[in-house]
A and B are shown apart, each in its own frame.
Chain A
Amino acid sequence: MTDLMQKPETKILILATLAGGYAGADATGQSHLDYPSNTYILPVMCPVMFPPEFFIRSFERGIDGILLMYSGTDSPYKVEAAGTAKLINQSYELMKERGIDIRRLRLAAICTVCVKPFLKEVNNMHTLLKGIGPVSAEIKPQQAEAQRTLP
């Protein structure tokens, strides 16, 4: 299983709304367009649920870049556009305090057939991380002890 032991240099977490980015990622797949494989997409209903600490925690655990792909003003939720923007700004403050490059966290409006914008965001983040390196260069990763011995 040696080929599995390889570690990708960086890891990009993509939190994508079901009504937007997640469907956009599916559309990209339907078009069979390649992008880097260090991208981990998790579906979310609406990103306003994430407190800024969540992003910090993710960086501390070793996530190198986070793309928040939301539906912006097209969202089915009233608060999505304004609320998410606010949380992201708060997160930037916390990131600055901790010396994390704020470009590691990015908010992008992606709709269900936004294939090109999706690719652009992913590739930009990938290129950025190539340049600035893993998050461990900026903060000491805190591998979750609890997670090694899962409940």
Chain B
Amino acid sequence: MSEKPKIGVYTCYCGGNISHTVKCEQVAKVMADQPDVVISRTNMSLCSDAGQSQIEEDIRELGVNRVVIGACAPSLHEPTFRNTVVRAGLNPYLYHHVGLREQDSWVHSCDCDGATCKAVRLMSAGVAKARFLDPLEPIRLEAEKQALVIGGGVAGLRSALDIANQGLRVVLVEKSPFLGGRMAQLAKVFPTGEEAQRLLSELIDEVVQHPRIGVFIQTEVVGVSGYVGKYGIDLLQHGRGVTAENGEALAAGCTQFVPDEFNYNLTERKVIYKPYQGCYPALPAVDWDHYDGESILLNGKKEVLQDQAQPYQLTVGAIVVATGFDPYTPHTGEYGYGELPQVATLAELIRHLAVHPEAKSLRWNGRIVRDVVMVHCVGSREIEGVDALQEDGLVNNYCSRVCCTATLHMIEELHTHFPGLNIFDLYQDIRTYGRGHEEYYRSALSSGTRFVRYNGEDRPEVIAALEGDTHPVLVHVKDALTYNQELEIPADLVVLATGMQPRQIDDLVRMLKVSRGNDRFLLEVHPKLRPVETAVNGVILAGTAQGPMNIQESILAASAAAAKVVSLLGSGQVELQPFVAAVNAAKCDGTGACVEACEYEGAIALETLVENGKEVKRAVVTAANCSGCGACVSVCPNRAIDVQGWTLAQYEAMVDAIAMDIVDLVEAE
């Protein structure tokens, strides 16, 4: 401590709120006699302009360099008085606030003497702490005004655009060879009936033309280091395998076919491919995972393609994770899926219709479809002990939230395109919660869809019909709408409204050290306080990587994520409160108990330093990663570490002041 403490003590009447119970003048008098106190005053209301000016004046005129205020709860006016002392040129952390209203006068109104004694002790404790106060500066970290967005679906695209539109630079990384994610696989989308691919291409145009966005396609994040403000990122960009000149020709010459996952393997495509007309980039790409390495004929010459992967390194201040979802794939045999050809998922049906836009009648596997059964909640809302466990031993006990509306939307589409279809809808609850969603429910009701309500404990069964039956499959279900009557519905097609699950991103989760919830989706810090941020500073979530969402919700989450990134990096500096651990190197002997106790990655480590020509180990705190919890403080055998602003010595001094008899306090002149 450089300067000798000159403490100013102020006891507020709070317009009588405190003074009606606590004898403020007596408190002030005892305080005036404490060592290091240069002035002790009372005031009717300190927070008033006059009260604040008095404090400023004392700092300027009397050289007060520590301020202790006894007033209302610190949560109300601590910021006010911090500003007051700053205005007078004092460091804001050289001020200490004692709550004398909520924690004294208001709770001991029948015990004036007790309340006064308590005030004296609490104020002495404040003075004792003030002696140990050090000026502190917020921790300022240089922040790279550039963000990384992982995932080029609608959420990642929107996030990138919003961040860039607010002045920061963005690197957007997409693993697959094309932008757009799952939304590109949709046709018309609820609730507006717009074409998904058209909406997407407008968004993609804005993104790729933006001067502050760099797009890396066919690129993976392979390394992450550093912390908020300065994350080091290693990227690996796979080769496209073709050039603008030879791309189309190579694709034309390619003869290797593989199942097309864009159409959920309903069709095949070449191994040099474009998923759909109008995709971005428009240049075909080589599917390296499936390319057999055989040569391809180009202008009479045989070409063997090679993945010339290229590493990149960049520094970013924050990371947005927008890696999206996979539709749930039913197990073989789940509702007959994979065994009975007339059982499909909703996502497959959407692709099927998109691939056959001109079809006059609905056909599945060659068969004309007249009776359709839609089954809700497949792979969602599973019940432990009732439904089969997923691979990881859990059940998907969450609601996937889009499938109800998507199913009813599909029913409307089917009725529009193929009038005369008979549609049964097997559901538990219809969850058309959003604006414009309930309309699809009403439309399905009015178009004659037969709704059957099943119970989650008693899911429908899909079985093959006997040979020669009118229909290929039979669906057995108990209908709670008609007193649990057992129904057998013959069907030409069973459509499973499969839910959402997060993509396989184990590597990324490990590199970013983010957590997942029980539903395996990425976990936010707190759904209300910080709904799009993870517990890792500077790692933000966007879209369905966090949980099931529709397009609108993915966009909103993405824009919210952008707001967080811009707040964090916009000023070029990240500012953190100074209440972090600090090591007293003179006392540290490198035992490392602190490192073991710390639960925050990269917050504290032993480093080898040279001291007097000798190599020694000393604990070193990385303020950016420290939460200030103090787990290290309690385990240090040498008391060599403290949380700044909340040191053990301060607490001991406060305890001593409280423990001291008032007689001693009064006499401690």
A–B contact via C-beta, under 8 angstroms? yes
Residues of A that sit less than 8 Å from B by CB: 1, 3-8, 11, 13, 23, 25-30, 32-46, 48-52, 54, 57-58, 61-63, 76-80, 83, 87, 143-144, 147-148, 150-151
Interface-located stretch among B296-304, B376-384, B398-406, B627-635: B627-635
What residues of chain B lie closer than 8 Å to A57, measured between beta carbons? Answer: 652, 655
A76 and B537 CA atoms in complex are apart in Å by 13
Q: Which positions 106-144 of chain B face chain A at CB distance < 8 Å?
A: 106-111, 113-118, 120-122, 125, 128, 131
Question: How far does the Cβ of A101 sit from chain B's closest Cβ, in whole Å?
Answer: 18
Q: Does B102 sit within 8 A of A, measured CB to CB? A: yes
- Of B128, B643, B663, the residue contacting A5 (CB under 8 A) is B663
Interface size class of B (residues with CB under 8 A): 35 or more
Q: Is B175 an interface residue (CB 8 A)?
A: no
In the complex formed, the residue of A with least CB distance to B634 is: A51
Is B662's beta carbon under 8 Å from chain A? yes
Given that A32-B107, A37-B114, A38-B114 are known contacts, is A50 also in contact with B101, CB under 8 Å in the complex?
Answer: no
Q: Is the CB of B115 within 8 A of A37?
A: yes
* CB-defined contacts of A148 to chain B, threshold 8 Å: 664, 668
B609 an interface residue at 8 Å Cβ cutoff? no
Other-chain residue from B30, B599, B633, B660 in contact with A49 (beta carbon distance below 8 A): B633
In the bound complex, how far is the Cα of B279 from the Cα of A117, in angstroms? 61
B655 and A63: CB pair below 8 A?
yes
Asked whether A54 and B651 contact (CB < 8 A) given A32-B107, A150-B35, the answer is yes
- How distant is A69 from chain B, measured CB to nearest CB, in Å? 12
CB of B654 closer than 8 Å to a CB of A: yes
Question: In chain B between 153 and 212, which residues have their CB closer than 8 angstroms to a CB of chain A?
Answer: none
Tell yes or no: B48 within 8 A of A by CB.
no
CB-CB under 8 A from A79, the residues of chain B are 597, 599, 629, 631
- By the criterion CB–CB under 8 Å, are B102 and A30 in contact? yes
- Bound Cα distance from A46 to B631, whole angstroms: 9
* Known pairs A1-B26, A78-B600, A150-B131; A45 contacts B629 (CB<8 A): yes
Q: Given the complex of chains A and B, what is the CA–CA distance between A83 and B635 in angstroms?
A: 11
Determine whether B339 belongs to the interface, using a CB cutoff of 8 Å to chain A.
no
- Which A residues are in CB contact (< 8 Å) with B531? none
- The docked-state distance in angstroms from the alpha carbon of A39 to that of B663 is 18
B629 to A49, Cβ gap below 8 A?
yes
The answer to whether B630 touches A13 (Cβ under 8 A) is no
Min Cβ gap B642→A in Å is 8
A-B pairs, 8 with minimum CB distance: A49-B630, A29-B102, A37-B114, A62-B659, A77-B629, A49-B633, A51-B634, A61-B659
Question: Shortest beta-carbon distance, A71 to chain B, in Å?
Answer: 12
* Chain A hits for B579, CB < 8 A: 45
B579, closest chain A residue (CB): A45
Q: A33 contacts which chain B residues (CB < 8 A)?
A: 107
Instruction: Kindly state whether residue B73 has any CB partner on chain A within 8 Å.
Output: yes
Contacts of A4 in B (CB 8 A): 26, 30, 113, 116-117, 120, 662, 666
Q: Provide a sorted-by-A list of 8 A–B residue pairs whose CB atoms are within 8 angstroms.
A: A7-B661, A32-B106, A34-B107, A37-B107, A46-B629, A50-B634, A147-B653, A147-B656
CB closest chain-B residue, reference A118: B107
- In the complex, what residues of B have CB within 8 A of residue A144's CB? 656, 659-660
Q: Chain B's nearest CB lies how many Å from the CB of A11? A: 6
Residue of A4, A30, A39, A151 most packed against chain B (CB within 10 A): A4
Whether A49 touches B117, Cβ cut-off 8 Å, given contacts A4-B26, A26-B73, A147-B657, is: no
Given contacts A48-B629, A48-B631, A58-B659, contact A40 B121 (CB under 8 A): yes
Pick from B107, B118, B646: contact of A40, CB below 8 A: B118
Given the complex of chains A and B, what is the CA–CA distance between A62 and B661 in angstroms? 10
Tell me which residues across on chain A come within 8 A of B660, comparing CB atoms.
143-144, 147
* Cβ of B432 under 8 Å from chain A: no
Chain B residues whose CB sits within 8 angstroms of the CB of A1 once the complex forms: 26, 29, 666
> Is B648 a contact partner of A42 (Cβ separation < 8 A)?
no
